[in-house]
Structure 1
Amino acid sequence: MKKKRILFTGGGTAGHVIVNVALIPLFQKEGWEIDYIGSKDGIERKLISELPGVQYYPISTGKLRRYMSIENIKDPFKVLKGIFQAWRIIGKRKPSVIFSKGGFVSVPVVLAAKLRGVPTVIHESDYTPGLANKLSMPFVKQILTTFPETLKYVNQKKATYVGAVVREELFMGDKQKGLKLTNFTTDKPVLLIMGGSAGSQKMNEIVRDSLDTLLDHFQIIHICGEGHVDEKMNQAGYVQFGYVNEELKDLLAITNFVISRAGANAIFEFLALKIPMLLIPLSRAASRGDQIINAKSFTKSGYARTIEEEQLTKESFIDEITQLQKHAPALLETMKNYQSDQARDTVMAIIKENSK
């Protein structure tokens, strides 16, 4: 019997890869062969290289910018080259189905899949679709959404609300390993602060300016982005990481509160783990505003508190952390009603239904 083959794509940020990382081992367990198309230098290459048995294919990719740049002239040619490369890879590997998580590297793949007649299932994590997914959606067989409200922004004839796919491994964290990684004790609560895979300069500065106050009440794990670790700030009760992958589950096992950007995958993972969160979404000046909408949805649902980056000062930051601690019991009570395990099975079933 011929083995089924699935090709995954998505990249640019960790958020466009994490769902793929969650699904790939599950398909491998069922005997599927796995290929991945990503960019040459994106974070997806690093994350996927850590998974055994996955063949990675880098292609040329562009980026649609919301500002003037000479690169905007070059990018259409990069995308055309990427379509041709993806067309050749798909022709060679002959996948039964393609699963796309978005990001600009996915656009050439989805277009090439359409040319090859290979069905594509696309997943949109955010409340409103990103530009790359908007461009891809007319060419896909099925659209899956994390938020039910997203259905009003897409073609509902081929869209299904599935919820968030959360990595199984995050529930397997070891508290003792987490304490050993950080040299923390059990005497104070642990506050995890993360500014996204690329880090956040403003968040990093405010965290470090606030350490004297915060360390009176918390032990702090600060995931500050690769290249942003400041060794001069190291002290008892404060540990920094540029980026964390394998060890994240153990750090989350000792985390009592989290401060984070509002990327959909990350905040649904915190929700599944029942960790009270303060969200600081990317500003509209630095994004299309999707994280602001994600954060508002979570706050309205009673899962989180939110402060926008424009309102962020040392004083407001400390005050919001105080409020997070105060309102944590109510947040936890609301979180009890959320169940995360059904989404993963639903997504896998839909992908299989659409395979040729």
Structure 2
Amino acid sequence: MKKIVMTGGGTSGHVTPNIALIPELKALGYHIEYIGSKNGMEKQLIEAEGIPYHSISTGKLRRYFSLENFADAFRVMGGLTQSVSLMRKIRPDIVFSKGGFVSCPVVWAAWLCGIPVVIHESDITPGLTNKLSMPFARKVCYTFPESKSHIPQEKGVLTGIPIRKSLLEGNRAEGRMICGFEDNKPTLLVIGGSQGAVRINEAVRKSLGRLMKDFNICHICGKGNVDDQYRSVKGYKQFEYIREELPHLFALADIVVSRAGATTLFELLALKKPSLLIPLSRQASRGDQILNAESFRKQGFSMVLPEEELTPDTLADRAKTLFEKRQEYRKAMERSGRTNGTREVVRVIEETYQLKHARRGEGLES
């Protein structure tokens, strides 16, 4: 039996692409196990898929000085020791890493145990975790064409992002029923990411008077961010986090307001949903979302509203303009020909597996 260990966590963008790969890998005969953090969101998401889950000690990898770096260094080394033990116990043929700080010890342990690693980079520029993992990987799958210059030529493969098949199977009428919308106004879907987005949430609520003249609004606002004073407002539905119903809400959406995480962007591209992107500012991130959003703007897939320019009025104005020009954005996405990266990533995994066993047969690998 072919065995693969998957890893990645911290945000849904590091987990949902792995979930998209699971059915395809199972169909190819892989037994799948997962290594993640003890308390990260990946634990709940992966266990819901019926995949054996192993927890390791984790520490955050920071680019800046902090006294916590010293304690976290010991946690990372503990995670490495635990990962090596798991590699010897599970004996996988291959490891696939989607990133997030939990994945570094897993990748290093696989390399120490002689197990080939494939990693995936979502953003245009690699994050710190993947920078530290790349030297130990056989192949690096990447999402944006602009990423090519940041990845070793002999390792890089442009694949796109794996997208859950179920996401493409939503029903518009079902989405309308979930939201309880009673009229046929266009629907504006707001996604703040798995952690929510306080500034976007505030701007949406302060602009409801203008937005609801033209739209019904479905607002995914993040855990703990539902505002009770708006629960009874007709045409405005709030959710903390959506999983099973998300395909139906995407099907219902005419336009989308979103952060600019790569996973969400490529889901919107596959679904041909015009979007207004509000990337995290450089003050709150390393700037990867800004680059992601600019790439989609240049390709004609999205409008961009910098967070520094976000106000209730700019949000309402841009949303109205996006809706008026929605067909232009849909046509650009249709012309791109870029859809679901699942098949390409699985191909890289399978080729790496086959190469390992070919070398083993020739006595080049133990």
Deviation at 1:176, TM superposition (A): 2.5
| Correspondence for 2:159 among 157, 162, 172 | 162
Residues 192-224 of structure 1: CA distance to partner in whole angstroms, max 9, x if unpaired? 001110001111111111111111110101000
Q: Does 1:332 align with 2:330?
A: yes
Contact persistence 1:272–1:339 (CA under 8 A): no
Partner of 1:265: 263
Q: Summarize the alignment of residues 1-356 of structure 1 with structure 2, pairs less than 5 Å apart.
A: 3-52=1-50, 54-185=51-182, 187-234=184-231, 235-341=233-339, 343-355=341-353, 356=356
User: TM-score, normalising length from structure 2?
Assistant: 0.94
Q: Tell me, in whole angstroms, the C-alpha distance in 2 between the residues paired with 1:27 and 1:281.
A: 33
Deviations 1:223-271 (A, max 9, x none): 0001111121121100111111111001111110000000011011001
For residues 253 and 112 of structure 1, what CA distance do their matches in structure 2 show?
A: 42
Q: Distance in 2 between matches of 1:123 and 1:254?
A: 30
Q: Is the 8 A contact 2:266 2:339 kept in 1?
A: no
**What is the letter of the counterpart of residue 303 of structure 2?**
R
Give the AA of the match of 1:304.
Answer: S
Whole-Å Cα distance in 2 between the matches of residues 137 and 149 of structure 1? 17
| Other-structure match for 2:362 | none
Q: Residues of 2 paired with 1:68 and 1:191: CA distance? A: 41
Name 2:364's counterpart in structure 1. Answer: none
SS in 2 for 1:239: strand
Q: Alpha-carbon deviations, 1:81-126, whole Å to 9, x = none?
A: 0001111111100111111000100000000000000000000010
CA distance in 1, matches of 2:306, 2:327: 23
Aligned partners of 2:269 and 2:339 also within 8 Å: no
Give me the whole-angstrom Cα distance separating, in 2, the residues matched to 1:324 and 1:331: 9
Residues 64 and 342 of structure 1, relative CA distance in 2, 3 Å threshold: closer
Is the Cα–Cα contact under 8 Å of residues 98 and 118 in structure 1 kept in the other structure? yes
What CA distance in whole angstroms lies between the structure 1 residues aligned with 2:96 and 2:192?
A: 27
| CA–CA distance in structure 1, aligned partners of residues 182 and 263 of structure 2 | 29
CA distance in structure 2 between the aligned counterparts of 1:68 and 1:185, rounded to whole angstroms: 53
Contact 2:163 2:340 in 1 (8 A): no
2:130 is paired with a residue whose SS is helix
The RMSD of aligned alpha carbons is 1.2
Q: Distance in 1 between matches of 2:182 and 2:147?
A: 42
Q: Percent identity?
A: 48
Deviations 1:310-349 (A, max 9, x none): 1111111111112211221211111112334563222111
Q: So what's the TM-score if we normalise by structure 1?
A: 0.97
After alignment, is 162-171 or 206-215 more displaced?
162-171
Shift of 1:29: 2.4
Q: Is the 8 A contact 1:256 1:276 kept in 2?
A: yes
1:66 & 1:321 partners in 2: Cα distance?
Answer: 35
Q: 1:159 to 1:77 in 2, by over 3 A?
A: same
User: Where in structure 2 are there 5+ consecutive unaligned residues?
Assistant: 357-366
Please tell me the residue identity of whatever aligns with 2:246. L
Q: Deviations over 1:284-330 (max 9, x none)?
A: 00100000000000000000000110111111111111221122121
Q: Is contact 1:119–1:140 with CA below 8 Å preserved after alignment?
A: yes
* Aligned residue identity for 1:299: R
Contiguous gaps of at least 5 residues in structure 1: none
Q: Is the Cα contact below 8 Å between 1:165 and 1:340 reproduced in 2?
A: no
Give yes or no for contact 1:124–1:144 (8 Å, CA) kept in 2: yes
SS state at 2:341 partner: helix
- Secondary structure at the counterpart of residue 337 of structure 1: helix
Instruction: Give the distance between the partners of 2:339 and 2:303, measured in 1 at CA.
Output: 24
Distance 2:229 2:340 in 1: 45
Shift of 1:164: 2.5
Aligned residue pairs total: 353
